[in-house]
Structure 1
Amino acid sequence: MSVDQPLILELADWLGTPPGQYVRRWEQKHIDAMVSNVFGYHAIQIGLPHWDLLQANRIPYKGRTSAVADGAALKGAVLVAEPENLPFDSQSIDLLVLPHVLECSGDPHQVLREAERVLVPEGRVVISGFNPWSLWGASDRIPGLDPLLPIPAHAQVSLPRLKDWFKLLSLDLDRGRFGCYAPPCTTSVWLERWKFMDHAGDRWWPVCGAVYVVSAVKRVAGMRLVGAQWKKVRKRVPRQAVVTSKHASERRRGTISYYDIQAAYGNKF
């Protein structure tokens, strides 16, 4: 099942609204901090190609993909590709950025499997998403309230669920942040008035932010072949005995025998 195209298009339009710009500014700031020191050769952003989330990274080759084949979505995109079936070789990408891709997919676990497949060992994936347990996510569950987010609550992927998927794959959670603690507002004026909540939320209720950004690293256990260690028996080479004359040994000890005198002076003595 591919990405829900109407949902991803609705999300792209929503990011231009006041609450969408509020979310976008927060995610841009923290994703920039997570990708700035990632090195390698290839960095790819999956989805939302009109929003450049690789601008702070210094990897030489950067690309963006789009799941929708229209002119507006293809602006700045490298190619059209489904996140569930990425057209990249295994272990070929150093950095992947997935902005709200999991919640727009019908099979988010398959998206993560593809991300793990194409990442090189020690490669990094950065994921953003809406928090279903925030005030913004709860607005979709309260009768009589119009949902603020374009993503329905049942499609949003919670962080505990995402951590469980990481454990099933070779992905090790490196760091993460919650953000956007202002109450659900549709105007920039009220969002600005509630701006102080962002500082208070980080301290008092950090898990109730409207959005989250996490970074995970692909860990590959080292392989070591252990075989039978045969004991090498060294062949003993017999040493030849050194023969020394009795007279030479006595001379080394400082003693002179009768035979030495006779050899030196003949039969005079």
Structure 2
Amino acid sequence: MSERTIIDWPAWTVSAPGRYVLDWEQAQLDRVVSDIFGYHALQLGLPGLDALRENRMPYRGLVLDTASAASSPFTLPPPVSPDARPGVTSLPSASRGLHAPEGRSAVWCDLLDLPFEAQSVDLLVMPHTLEFTSDPHRLLREAERVLMPEGQLIILGFNSLSLWGARQSLGKVAGKPFVPSAHEMIAFTRIKDWIKLLGFDLERGRFGCYRPPLLTEQWLARYQFMEAAGDRWWPIFGAAYMITAIKRVRGMRLIGPRKLKKPALAPGLAPVAAPHTRNEH
């Protein structure tokens, strides 16, 4: 597929349908992440959406690769750092504000090979990240690896079983897609199957954005009545969805309050250190 058939995120996020979807997603995230606690929370990609702004964990990071950084509505300088390590580029503090909201740190790496220790993250948010990765299965496996037991995974995406999904399919055939997506939309049911195979328990799933795929704010406003109707009568056909899942470790039993040991991540979310070797006796 030609790169010209992929809509740029920055242009789409300021369009009427883009603002419509992102406003719904931001509202859902603000409500959900405020009640999730721990030490480390990460957002993978889509810097135009502040997925962690209502979360209160001590460390909240934004993880970017070249493709996800292109989704930012800002002009971003190339990642540079004099002490960069292989696979990861940490931005100088002076330029982090361009990549992450205030109070966040930005880390550049390959999203399919996250440079963080296993079982070191309490919350991982992937806003449309699976739709832009070349290997969604591998990305989900990485998410499962870095999440702590009982850690939470939040996935947002476009629903292929919707009017928006139908328009996207027809638009790609004609070379005029309606929403940004480097690959095909992934059905909600398929995502559920994938995360269950990885040992996650689905906590909740929610659909939203029931108005038709229209280009102008005026026409979208005319169909506002479809929000309440869709949520009641055809909830699985919303244009967007959000999935919240919990990582379960079978055979593990928690007795009493969970005592969290702070993972071995530096304040700037440094990459995982080289494994230590045991001393021979």
* Same fold (TM > 0.5): yes
TM-score by length of 2: 0.72
Other structure's SS at 1:181 match: coil
What is the root-mean-square deviation of aligned Cα atoms in Å?
A: 2.4
Other structure's SS at 2:249 match: coil
Percent sequence identity over aligned pairs: 50
Kept after mapping to 1: 8 A contact 2:26/2:49: no
Name the structure 2 match of 1:169.
Answer: 198
Q: Using the alignment, how far apart are the partners of 1:98 and 1:150 within structure 2? A: 15
The answer as to 2:127 corresponding to 1:81 is: no
Name the structure 2 match of 1:255.
Answer: none
Change (3 A) 1:210 1:166: same
Kept after mapping to 2: 8 A contact 1:41/1:93: yes
Cα offset for 1:13?
3.1
Q: Using the alignment, how far apart are the partners of 2:153 and 2:14 within structure 1? A: 25
Cα offset for 1:17?
1.1
Name the structure 2 match of 1:234.
Answer: none
Other structure's SS at 2:168 match: coil
Name the structure 2 match of 1:42.
Answer: 40
Name the structure 2 match of 1:195.
Answer: 224
Kept after mapping to 2: 8 A contact 1:12/1:48: no
Q: Which runs of 4+ in 1 moved over 4 A?
A: 5-9, 143-146
Kept after mapping to 2: 8 A contact 1:67/1:82: yes
Cα offset for 1:35?
1.0
Kept after mapping to 2: 8 A contact 1:7/1:104: no
Kept after mapping to 2: 8 A contact 1:139/1:146: no
Name the structure 1 match of 2:19.
Answer: 21
Other structure's SS at 2:27 match: helix
For residue 95 of structure 1, the aligned residue among 111, 123, 128 is 123
For residue 157 of structure 1, the aligned residue among 156, 161, 186 is 186
Which ranges of structure 2 fall in alignment gaps of 5 or more residues? 77-97, 254-281
Q: Please give the per-residue CA displacement for 1:72-94, whole angstroms capped at 9, x wherever unaligned.
A: 35621511122211111100000
Kept after mapping to 2: 8 A contact 1:91/1:120: yes
Rg larger in structure:
1
TM-score by length of 1: 0.75
Q: Please give the per-residue CA displacement for 1:115-136, whole angstroms capped at 9, x wherever unaligned.
A: 0000000000100000011101
Kept after mapping to 2: 8 A contact 1:139/1:145: no
Change (3 A) 1:50 1:183: closer
The worse-fitting range, judged by mean Cα deviation, of 58-67 and 10-19 is: 10-19
Q: Using the alignment, how far apart are the partners of 1:8 and 1:48 within structure 2? A: 15
Kept after mapping to 2: 8 A contact 1:91/1:119: yes
Aligned length in residues: 219
Letter in 2 for 1:126: I
Name the structure 1 match of 2:248.
Answer: 219
The worse-fitting range, judged by mean Cα deviation, of 168-177 and 139-148 is: 139-148
Cα offset for 1:196?
1.2
Which ranges of structure 1 fall in alignment gaps of 5 or more residues? 225-269
Cα offset for 1:144?
6.4
Letter in 1 for 2:57: I
Kept after mapping to 2: 8 A contact 1:178/1:210: yes
User: How do residues 27-66 of structure 1 correspond to structure 2 at under 5 angstroms?
Assistant: 27-66=25-64
For residue 109 of structure 1, the aligned residue among 111, 122, 137 is 137
Name the structure 2 match of 1:148.
Answer: 178
The worse-fitting range, judged by mean Cα deviation, of 5-14 and 119-128 is: 5-14
Other structure's SS at 2:169 match: coil
Other structure's SS at 1:191 match: helix
Q: Please give the per-residue CA displacement for 1:137-193, whole angstroms capped at 9, x wherever unaligned.
A: 1013337694321226x6111111011101210211110110100001111111111
Name the structure 2 match of 1:259.
Answer: none
Other structure's SS at 1:190 match: helix
Cα offset for 1:39?
0.4
The answer as to 2:225 corresponding to 1:179 is: no
Cα offset for 1:7?
8.9
Other structure's SS at 1:39 match: coil
